[in-house]
Structure 1
């Protein structure tokens, strides 16, 4: 690993417990929101977004990291792929199973840490993630693990945003993904922003340089947010979303 990335500070172990407790409190409402999203125009937008990177390939083995309530897992399983969704929060996995069952999805789910994967090397064709990396205590370790379980020539599609930066100064929107969250939970989310070192990095440039140091070919797409979140609705994310796409070269 390039020495220039050694500035990433590894937080205390109980930081991960704090993060998990936040998502535990959000799990049930999060599933309800994803259920609505699966019935909204966002479904087609995200499906088209994911499909364009698959290059017509079928029955891929896909790992959905930090799957939450299983939105990506469900979409990809319905496209005919073999999908495993993982999340460190047990309540989220329970909600993802409920949602998947309700729509007849074949996706499988398991409780697992995104930074310590219980899979063999070279297992998956594609790894997907949405709004995950920003709340990882050890993102450098996570990326290393993701590449480990990816097949040679396999692909990471990591959709994320700089949620922590300037979160006190975001423009007010009528509707957004946080509009129904209790103020105490929002404060907990803001605490996560402040306690993780990734919040102070310049992204997605940081991701690109790190992944390239791990021998991956990386491209960045900064148009994802404007394309998918052009409308201020209950799924709206005011922070511009980007895609970090990485191809494993080893």
Structure 2
């Protein structure tokens, strides 16, 4: 992957190469932030959120898509599930392995494209994702793949936000998840916002309409996730309102 860019960003590379380069630069610091998050009150908030939907079951086969440094993978493995975390960025997978090993997690990790999954049909019971869909060049293809690899009646929990639509009008926060990100990396992030078609969609309505067309038996939206989990302006704070797209195959 080419990770050297001029300060004036005009990506002529393949979209995924540019996006992977951005996350390569952020991987180590991202892991350090997730390590802190695993020791913060956010851990309990997210664990309760996930358990609410998984209904206290054990031993589920779960795929964590765009796992980053493995935050969801670690939580779910510690709850007794069989978890595979995937991410297109090799450096992120290395960081997720480091973090999982440091806390004794049994989660497994692999480099893989969220839009082209290397799994058989009906492999998983559950798919989870957090802040992934907004930076996919072909989210429609991704959703079709996600539905393909979960079993009949399987569940998708996709937590995301309209980062692109909101980033110019955000209130100034004392603390937030990007406060230690360099200006150059912020510019790269904004470039991703502007170069992807999903940034122009009205979400999560778009997600619900697409998933219904793809044959999902149930699609429900929960717009309260952000206010519930990110009520405090700490170093994990995300000011853009997060929503949940909950899908039953």
Task: Give me the TM-score of the superposition, normalised by structure 1.
Answer: 0.94
Aligned residue in 2 for 1:96: 96
Aligned residue in 2 for 1:236: 237
**Structure 1 runs, 4 residues or longer, greater than 2 Å off:** none
CA distance in 1, matches of 2:133, 2:242: 12
Gaps of 5+ in 2: 1-10
CA distance in 1, matches of 2:174, 2:50: 28
CA distance in 1, matches of 2:80, 2:177: 29
Compute the displacement of 1:164 (Å): 0.2
Compute the displacement of 1:106 (Å): 0.1
Whether the aligned pair in 1 keeps the contact of 2:166 and 2:240 (CA below 8 Å) is no
Aligned residue in 2 for 1:87: 87
Aligned residue in 1 for 2:144: 144
SS in 1 for 2:180: coil
Pairs within 5 Å for 1:95-244: 95-216=95-216, 217-244=218-245
> What CA deviation, in whole Å up to 9, does each residue of 1:138-174 have, x standing for no partner?
0000000000000000000000000001312210000
Aligned residue in 2 for 1:7: none
Compute the displacement of 1:221 (Å): 0.2
Determine whether 1:42 maps to 2:42. yes
Pairs within 5 Å for 1:17-28: 17-28=17-28
SS in 1 for 2:164: coil
Compute the displacement of 1:56 (Å): 2.3
Compute the displacement of 1:58 (Å): 1.1
Compute the displacement of 1:55 (Å): 1.6
CA distance in 2, matches of 1:28, 1:174: 23
Compute the displacement of 1:214 (Å): 1.0
Gaps of 5+ in 1: 1-10
